[in-house]
């Protein structure tokens, strides 16, 4: 940090998914290397950056309300630098400048590693829009990471799928896999700094296809290699597409001790007709077979998923097929969404389900998923699991960490330090966390 160069302070607000969180950490690293320091509060910052999300309409609208506030501030404080990065920036481009003329910089996600170059243009008095397709360069700045124990590492950018409801391919661009050597180097660096758990990131991470000096690398080969990095104790990856779960990746869940027994594998719907209209490329039955094979490889695997209620033209019977699939699989965790029509997507052309019906289906989905989630957590009582401790808890002597299945765990004991991975026995299940004793 070179705060003495006195560029002032920055504030970053991040919306959306882990991809955005990881991009924000890298952009914070760039700002600090330029001489900015983190502001104490948003309204005091000299540079405000919103890293935005447009996956659903409410995510996009939230950004405009935040921006309105800052635009007003800029009218009395012309030295304020206002930046919109991420997916709304990519989607709206120049039209954002028309909507909010106070903006200095509008930059798509592929430009995150170029923040310094773009800000240099802003400093020369330009209003800059950077949304053209861009080959993502390896970044040389060190990310300013929120945690020093659990970290994110991007392995693939973009998405080549064409799910008919989704804006991601149009805002994140085509898939670009990082080099396996570069990923391994980054992981070794993180291990040397004391990181214990790494999540490999991509919108469709199991489409990873790296070209190394010795040939092709899929995600399974990458995981096997990264599991050899000394000091890293836990690996996971997100988000994966059911169709890209190949044999080797399934086997890796059985072979690799460091690969956590938690898998986020979104299915969206349990109805074949809807899956087809979503262009997901598999049936409900395919998904169920896949889950069986994964559980054969790793019996204690905890599964999580995403569901969309009220996709255009979804009938009550089709919605109930989703509930049936959920009952069959029994998920440990789930993210439920009401369908939101996105401009430019094929599904937006189809007739929507009535709003009240959508609300009702979402509510029923949530009730079922919450009860499964609670049962999965209660089911841990009496079991022995690993916990990676991150920070002291609220009670004296208490420590908080995450279990192998990503449950929050509280332990009260002497001699625990952040970054310790310990075996515990779960003693009780609370509202959102487990209590346990050290073994
Ligand atoms: N790449 C990931 C997910 C990306 S977006 C995957 O393919 O699984 C995260 C989740 O948001 C999706 O899984 C989906 O459930 C939800 N989502 C995406 N577009 C949506 C839309 N238009 N309306 C409602 N939910 C949506
Ligand atoms: Fe969107 Fe589908 Fe790509 Fe996921 S796989 S990001 S849902 S297009
Ligand atoms: Fe949102 Fe962009 Fe992620 S639209 S979900 S921030 S890829």
Summarised one tens digit per residue, pLDDT across range 198-226 is: 999 999 999 999 998 899 999 999 999 99
Mean pLDDT of 178-188: 94
Count of H-run helices and E-run strands, the chain: 13, 21
Protein residue closest via CA to atom 3 of ligand 3: 17
Separation of alpha carbons 302 and 405, rounded Å: 6
Please tell me the distance between residue 110's alpha carbon and the centre of ligand 2 in angstroms: 17
Protein residue closest via CA to atom 5 of ligand 1: 55
Task: Give residue-wise pLDDT tens across range 369-385.
Answer: 999 999 999 999 999 99
Q: Residue 2 has what pLDDT?
A: 42
Backbone phi, psi, residue 380, to 5°: -80, -15
Report the nearest atom of ligand 3 relative to the CA of 51: 6
Mean pLDDT of 185-196: 95
Would you place residue 1 in the very low, low, confident or very high pLDDT band (cuts 50, 70, 90)? very low
Q: Residue 213 has what pLDDT?
A: 87
Q: Please work out whether the CB of residue 54 comes within 6 Å of at least one atom of ligand 1.
A: no
Please tell me the distance between residue 166's alpha carbon and the centre of ligand 2 in angstroms: 6
Q: Please work out whether the CB of residue 306 comes within 6 Å of at least one atom of ligand 1.
A: yes
Exposure b/e, 281-301, CB count within 10 A at least 16 = b: ebbbebbeebbeebeebbeeb
Would you place residue 3 in the very low, low, confident or very high pLDDT band (cuts 50, 70, 90)? very low
Mean pLDDT of the chain: 94
Task: Give residue-wise pLDDT tens across range 327-366.
Answer: 999 999 999 999 999 999 999 999 999 999 999 999 999 9
Residue of 201, 284, 208, 295 lying closest to 242 (CA atoms): 284
**pLDDT for 120 beyond 50:** yes
Please tell me the distance between residue 265's alpha carbon and the centre of ligand 1 in angstroms: 12
**pLDDT for 429 beyond 60:** yes
Using an 8 Å Cβ cutoff, are 345 and 166 in contact?
yes
Report the nearest atom of ligand 1 relative to the CA of 204: 1
Mean pLDDT of 229-252: 97
Q: Residue 139 has what pLDDT?
A: 67
Mean pLDDT of 66-71: 91
Instruction: Return all residues near 217 (Cβ < 8 A) that are at least 6 apart.
Output: 180, 208, 209, 210, 211, 225
Protein residue closest via CA to atom 1 of ligand 3: 53
Protein residue closest via CA to atom 7 of ligand 3: 168
- Residue 174: nearest ligand to its CA? 2
pTM above 0.85, yes or no: yes
Identify the weakest region by mean pLDDT among 69-73, 102-106, 300-304, 330-334: 69-73
Q: Please work out whether the CB of residue 87 comes within 6 Å of at least one atom of ligand 3.
A: yes
- Asked if the bond preceding 239 is cis, omega within 30° of 0, the reply is yes
Separation of alpha carbons 393 and 410, rounded Å: 7
Protein residue closest via CA to atom 18 of ligand 1: 166
Higher pLDDT, 142 or 185: 185
């Amino acid at each position: 940090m070179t705060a003495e160069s006195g560029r002032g302070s920055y504030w970053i607000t991040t919306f959306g998914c882990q991809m955005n969180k990881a991009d924000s950490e890298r952009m914070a690293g760039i700002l600090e290397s330029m001489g900015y320091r983190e502001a104490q509060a948003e309204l005091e910052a000299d540079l405000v950056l919103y890293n935005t999300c447009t996956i659903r309409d409410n995510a996009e609208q939230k950004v405009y309300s935040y921006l309105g506030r800052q635009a007003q501030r800029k009218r009395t404080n012309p030295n304020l630098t206002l930046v919109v990065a991420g997916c709304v920036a990519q989607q709206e481009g120049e039209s954002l400048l028309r909507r909010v003329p106070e903006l200095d910089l509008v930059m798509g996600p592929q430009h995150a590693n170029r923040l310094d170059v773009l800000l240099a243009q802003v400093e020369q008095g330009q209003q800059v829009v950077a949304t053209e397709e861009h080959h993502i360069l390896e970044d040389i700045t060190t990310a300013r990471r929120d945690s020093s124990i659990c970290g994110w590492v991007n392995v693939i950018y973009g998405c080549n799928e064409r799910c008919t409801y989704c804006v991601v391919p149009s805002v994140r661009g085509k898939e670009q896999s990082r080099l396996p050597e570069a990923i391994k180097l980054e992981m070794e660096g993180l291990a040397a700094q004391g990181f214990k758990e790494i999540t490999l990131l991509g919108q469709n991470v199991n489409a990873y296809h790296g070209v190394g000096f010795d040939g092709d690398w899929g995600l399974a080969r990458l995981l096997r290699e990264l599991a050899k990095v000394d000091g890293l104790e836990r690996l996971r990856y997100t988000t994966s597409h059911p169709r890209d779960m190949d044999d080797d990746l399934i086997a890796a869940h059985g072979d690799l001790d460091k690969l956590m027994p938690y898998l986020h594998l979104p299915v969206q719907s349990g109805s074949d007709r809807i899956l087809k209209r979503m262009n997901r490329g598999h049936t409900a039955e395919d998904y169920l077979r896949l889950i069986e094979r994964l559980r054969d490889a790793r019996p204690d695997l905890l599964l999580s998923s995403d569901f969309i209620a009220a996709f255009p033209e979804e009938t009550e019977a089709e919605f109930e097929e989703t509930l049936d699939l959920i009952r069959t699989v029994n998920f440990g965790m789930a993210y439920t969404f009401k369908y939101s029509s996105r401009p430019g997507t094929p599904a937006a052309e189809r007739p929507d389900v009535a709003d009240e019906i959508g609300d009702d289906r979402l509510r029923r989905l949530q009730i079922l998923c919450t009860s499964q989630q609670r049962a999965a957590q209660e089911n841990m009582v009496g079991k022995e699991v690993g916990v990676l401790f991150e920070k002291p808890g609220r009670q004296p002597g208490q420590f908080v960490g995450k279990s192998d299945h990503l449950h929050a765990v509280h332990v009260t004991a002497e001699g625990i330090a952040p970054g310790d991975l310990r075996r515990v026995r779960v003693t009780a299940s609370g509202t959102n966390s487990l209590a346990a004793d050290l073994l």
